[in-house]
Structure formats: structure tokens, C-alpha cells
Amino acid sequence: MMQPFRTEGDSMGQMQVPEDAYYGAQTARAVENFPISDLRFPRQFIRAMGLIKKHAAITNQALELLPPNISVAIQKAANEVIEGKLDDQFVLDIFQTGSGTSTNMNANEVLANRAIEILGGKRGDKSVHPNDHVNRGQSSNDVIPTAIHVAASESIVRQLIPALEELQKALAAKAAEFHEVLKIGRTHLQDATPIRLGQEFSGYAAQVQAGIERLRKLEGPLGELALGGTAVGTGLNTHPEFPRRTIEGIARETGLNLREAENHFAAQGAIDGCVEASGALKAVAVGLIKIAHDIRWLGSGPRCGLGEIKLPATQPGSSIMPGKVNPVMCEMVIQVGAQVIGNDATIAFSGTFGAFELNTMLPVTAYNLIQSIELLATASQVFSRRCISGLEANKEKCESMIEQSLAMCTALAPVIGYDAAAKIAKVAYQTGRTVREVAIESSGLDKAKIDRLLDPRTQTGPEKS
């Protein structure tokens, strides 16, 4: 059956629009022009667009720039966008005009036609106009960067930070649980001096906590919004009170610390805040890769590897080797980290395309930034629940290798000197004996003193009360 269409017009002429679509001619034109990928703006971005349009309508009504009935209808339609009820109407590809104008008009048309319907009119009759009413006092050039900042801020605060806090607590709990487990430390993947398994995990917990603190600092750059600059940052065609009032409304509804940009030319000509945010996300990703990679190594085996910890079995690991269980959660985190690092490269490159008064890489920046936040949030939560919380220490395996380490001679160096200690390590290696055995034979120290010096517990630092 042929799909029914209606005819709508824009400044370039007439377009056929699906009869049941809320979007209009400009969106339909962009659908034809940009059939590039299956990538679409994420939910958080669409929500942010709804928030902007809703509070713009509230402000414009208060400033007597919109009739109350039209403003209220736009607000009702915007609430549906905020709640995700109209997500299927946001149909445009990420790879489109660099300002995101097509997506701003997609939102304007959807809200206008839904508002028309709420008022009892017919979609496409322009009784609520996408430009004159929904986009009043705005430009794509200030709306899209504002939506990116709002979406990223809300996703970080509501999703990512809570997920990382959960992971940090799980790692800190394991640090306490594993405190009494002694093991050999490793530097350059070679044997080093003893360490507590709990100390290793305290380092992981601290890495995640540092990442959380970096993300909290993004409240500054991401909380600064471009709204009010309109086309080039001068604020042409908007009321002087519009940005402050609208941003205050968005801030109240979201609970975010938002404010108007101090300099609209910087806010629209550059995306430095997004680049900074992506850098912080990359730092979190790099930290998670290190943690996941360490845990993958520590759990290697289970019989022929390090095997110092036991990873929870989540699913079969091989299609050919029965009983094999792989560190799949660690590998998931590492792959997510790789994606975030790649996204950061895209965002950093996008930052270089701020030409004069507008950056023209906004859609791809929005997609990559929000994807990074969401991937890190989900991966952190899953990693915490399906891997970290179920880790067990293999105490016997950990402690069995300490005595074999040549780095045990480090504790002798302050007493007998570096060169003498190095000679003991060399003899131990050549003869296959332990440092303790060779030291008793050749160091000139009595056995009791050697045993005190080579007690691995005393080599892991002072006990904390």
C-alpha cells in the first residue's frame, strides 16, 4: 500500500511529508539530503531540546512575545518530547549540516505540529509556526550547543557519577576485604617487592574517585550555555531578558547549575567545554582500562596463569574448549574504553572546526560526547555488579610466590649495601635458591635478623589504625 502524504512548504518550496509525521518540510528535505548512516541523536539530547523549547515558550509568554494559548500548547508538546513520547519523530542523521540546523528545525516542526493538534488544528496548517513561535528568540547556532551542554551535564550527574560511585565503593570494599592477603608486587611485569592485594585494590578505588572529582569539575564549563547569542553571538532578534529567564527555568527543572555564557562569541565559535569534558571522560576510560586489564591479568589461569584472584564465572568462554571461562567483563570495559578514546579524538578534531562565529561539527560532537558518557556509565555499573563484587582472593597462590621473588633482597640493601644485596639476588637467580637461603649463607647477618628484614608484612608499609 502507498504511504499517504501531506504537502508542506518551506522557503525552498513544497515537500511531501508522511501524513502521520509531526515533522514538516525542512525535516523531510533533510531526510532526503542526508541518508548517510543509522546514527541518530540520543535520548538525552532530544530531552534537552524539549527542555529548551519548553522554557523558551514560557519566557516568551512572560515577555508578551507569544500568545498564551500558543505558548501553553508548545509547552505541552515539549513535555511530550522531554518524556520521550515523540522520539520516533526525530529522524535525522547525525551526519548533516554542521550547525545542527536540520535537527533544530526537526524539533521546531514536531513541536509546532503537535501544538497545532493540541489546539484542535490540522498538522501543517502553520497556525503554530515552527520559526515564528517555537523558535522565537533562538537560532540553531545557540540552541544546539546549549542542548549539548545540558544533555552532557545531566547525563554525567544522573548516570555516570552514580555508576562510578558504585564502582568505587565496590573496589574500596575489596581493598578492605583483601587487606591481609600478601602477594608479590610487579613493575615492568617483573617481580618486585611485596604488596598487599588490598593495597592494589585501594589504588583502583582511588583512580575511580579521582575520575569522579574530574567529572564534578565539569559543572563549570558545561554549565555555561550559549542560549541568547542567536545567529552569531550578538543576540539579534531576542529579548535581553530571554536567555537569563529561559536558562533559569531549565536549571530549576533539571537541578543543574546552569548560567548564560559570559561571552557568546566564544560559546558559539568554539566547543572548548565539550573538548574539556571529553578529555575528562577519556581520563576515566583510561583508568578503567588499567583496572580491568590488571584484574584480567590477576585472574589469569586459573591454573597456569597468575591466578591470584578468582573472577566470577559469567558465561562460557569458548566454543571449542569445554569448561573455559574468560574475563569477559574486563574485556567489555577495555573495549568501551577504546571507544571513548576514539570518541575523544573525534571531539578534539571537531574543536578545531570553530570557524569565526560558529563551530560546524556540532552534531558529531553531540553524538560522541553523549555516547561516551552513557557507555562509561553502563560499563561501570555492569563491571561493578558482575565482576568486582564477586571477586575472591586466592590467598595461597598469592603468598606462595613471595618467597621466590629476587626483589626480596631490596629489604637487605639498607643494612648490607646495594651491591652486596644485588650479589645475593644474582646468586639466588643463578642457583635457583631463594634470597633468604643465600643471605643466611653469605650476608654475615644472623638468621633472626634476616627473617625480620625479609618478613613480607613489614615490607608493605606501616599498618594504618
319 catalytic per annotation: no
Phi-psi region of 408 (alpha: psi -120 to 50; beta: other; left: phi over 0): alpha
Q: How far apart are CA 126 and CA 396, in angstroms?
A: 76
**Active-site pick, 37, 55, 129, 188:** 188
Q: How far is CA 422 from CA 37, 408, 459, in A?
A: 62, 10, 18
CB 34 within 8 A of CB 93: yes
Q: How far apart are CA 185 and CA 461, in angstroms?
A: 13
DSSP state of 325: B
CB 427 within 8 A of CB 409: no
**Active-site pick, 71, 99, 202, 318:** 318
Q: How far is CA 1 from CA 4, 260, 397, in A?
A: 9, 51, 69
Question: C-alpha grid cell for residue 72?
Answer: 501553553
Q: How far is CA 167 from CA 182, 288, 387, in A?
A: 23, 10, 10
What is the DSSP pairing of strand 182-187 with strand 190-196?
Answer: antiparallel
Where in 139-296 does DSSP place strands (E)? 182-187, 190-196, 224-225, 259-260
CB atoms within 10 A of CB 80: 18
188 catalytic per annotation: yes
Could you list the active site residues?
Answer: 188, 318
